[in-house]
Chain A
Amino acid sequence: MARVNFEGVSKAFDGALAVDDLHLDVHDGELLVLLGPSGCGKTTVLRMVAGLEDPTAGTVSIGDVIVNDVEPKDRDVAMVFQSYALYPHMTLRRNIEFPLRQQKVPAAERARRVDEAAGTLGLGDLLDRKPGQLSGGQRQRVALARAIVRDPQVFLMDEPLSNLDATLRIQTRADIVSLQRRLGTTTIYVTHDQVEAMTMGHRIAVMRDGRLQQVAAPQDLYERPANTFVASFLGSPGMNLVPASVDGAVVTVDGTRVELPAGPAVAAGPVTVGVRPEAASLAPEGIAATVVLVEQLGAEAHVICALVDGTRVVVRQENRAARPDLGDAVAIRVDPAQLLLFDADTGARLELGR
């Protein structure tokens, strides 16, 4: 087990920066999720830890060793790929023991460790089959077994669940989490799925356009996003962002005044107001809006409204609330204590005084 450290790491492909000056410390034994939309550079970061890409600048260290010039096979990291990357011509036993064979582990110990890893992942009966005879979920578990059998310093997982169907994804997600918690192996997990990130990570590092946006525990990230990008990327649906103006502790949204418990330390002027769907409700009085769409989700519903200026605001309703109809004129009330303010230009969150 080991910490993984990025010190000013950049990676350029043909002059285009895929990763830009990354400073990040992955703690020993932690499951850190790298989250971001496709093309944000998260997979490149992972591949630089594996040694499959060389950083253009900066240093990557595993443990306390700078690994920039260390061959992939000497880094003691195991990677799980989106496509599983199993060896199609080998039986499962051969697949799982392949890394051990390369390490010249004696046959008896090899067999014991393969049986143990296969048992952990419920593959015991399938060891004589070939990958082609397995389902997607089983293949993914073989890929995991091949990673854990090595007992490496670091696990690297590149969207390992995205080829599975929804039910299997939720189940495998829980399996990976319990496995990681039990083994306590430092894990870097790449995904674009914020639900995966929220449910799996000790901490989440959000990336966009090659830049790290914020690193924090899931709940912190959800409650105190560093900027509008993080605010809208996390949560399903994401945070509502509405243009407004602030003057001291009073925010004016579309002509409606909302008094905050404390105001930001900025001069009066335009801001972006962030409201989680659950912090908004339909009320007799509030910000005027029109219902555009109602999404029924069983236990709850999302009421999508348009403000007078056209801005969309999603309101989450519990089951017992009366559902409005399409086109109804409604009023939205927001909970002042749960309201966030962002700089109208940079998108950075404004601290509210206490």
Chain B
Amino acid sequence: MSALRSRRHREWGLAYLLLAPALLVFAVFTFYPFLRNFKLALYQNPPYPGLPAHYVGLHQVGSVLASTSFHQSLVSTLLYVVMVVPVGLIGGLLLAVAAHKAIRGMAWFRLIFSSTVVTSVAVAAVVFGTLMDPVVGLLPWLGINPHPAILENPTWALPAVSLIAVWQFLGLSFVIMTAGLQSLPDEVLEAARLDGAGGWTMFWRVTVPLLSPTLFFGLVVGTIYAFQSFGQIDILIGPQNSQFTHTDVLLYSVYQALSIQDNPGVAAVLSIVLFTILLVFTLVQLRFLERRVTYAGN
């Protein structure tokens, strides 16, 4: 009995030993900062850098949540997500359906469609920045000269930045949808053809429902991706213009509070808000949507 117990102890010991490197990395770079962040949120930084922060309890959380800049940031973030995720998902699905045909040379289209996945945010931002340039860009070439320029325009800056995110997400969305399409059961699609389903019925009544697990996965991945957009805004708008042009999405305002305003307390509060939103959002998606998703087979 005790021999058995000691062997079990040894096995547990070995398990922790093998896990230790990974646990150590997580502890140092994830768990500790995560917990430390909650402490930061309780301390207020003085207006002048260098002076010690003092404990204010939940007071700082309340004042950040009540501020207009936070509300603006929240609205911008939600608008941004709404612009990026559905368009990216539907666009990826349409491209995948279009490319899901056995036509010569289709491999090249697949390569092109999926290439945005491997393009870095910086490169994409510079390319789009050039296209949207008020002097050498696409619009002046077409004879359209919005004033102020698109990326300095409070109405158009957020849609312009979201366009880049859509473009980038399209590649991932296309890859996910293509994988989903390729795993659909051929016989069910053939049965539908024989049962008289035309292209439209086929797509809406058969393909989309069968693809719902893939669409669901794309929705979760796309939402998290959109909430974490940062590079495009930093490169094209920058901290000076982001509040004015309503492009200071939550993640970007965390960065602004920390690096520009040198205010770790506010940054900590904002990041907790972002974390909470994503957590709630993911739980809601998992709970409610998964129930409606049709999984093929048993």
List A residues at the B interface (Cβ < 8 Å): 50-52, 72-73, 75, 77-79, 81-83, 85-89, 98-99, 102-103, 132, 146, 150
Contact = CB atoms under 8 A, between A and B. Distances in A.
Interface string B174-214: 00000000000101101111111110010001100110100
B212 A89 contact: yes
Given A83-B187, A102-B201, A132-B298, A88 B194 contact: no
Interface residues of B, number: 23
B196 A99 contact: yes
A85 B294 contact: no
The 7 closest A-B pairs by CB, nearest first: A102-B196, A89-B294, A85-B187, A85-B191, A99-B195, A89-B209, A73-B196
B135 interface: no
B295 to A, nearest CB: 7
Choose among A75, A77, A82, A83 the residue with the greatest number of B CB atoms under 10 Å from its CB: A83
Nearest to A84: B187
B194 A72 contact: yes
A88 B296 contact: yes
A79 to B, nearest CB: 5
B21 interface: no
A298 B193 CA distance: 48
Contacts of A79: 190-191, 194
Given A85-B190, A89-B210, A102-B201, A146 B294 contact: no
Contacts of A50: 190, 194
B194 A102 contact: no
Contact of B297 (A77, A99, A132): A132
A221 to B, nearest CB: 30
B195 A52 contact: no
A22 B112 CA distance: 44
Given A75-B194, A81-B187, 15 more contacts: A51-B194, A52-B194, A73-B197, A73-B198, A82-B187, A85-B187, A85-B188, A85-B191, A86-B191, A87-B191, A98-B197, A98-B205, A99-B195, A102-B197, A132-B295
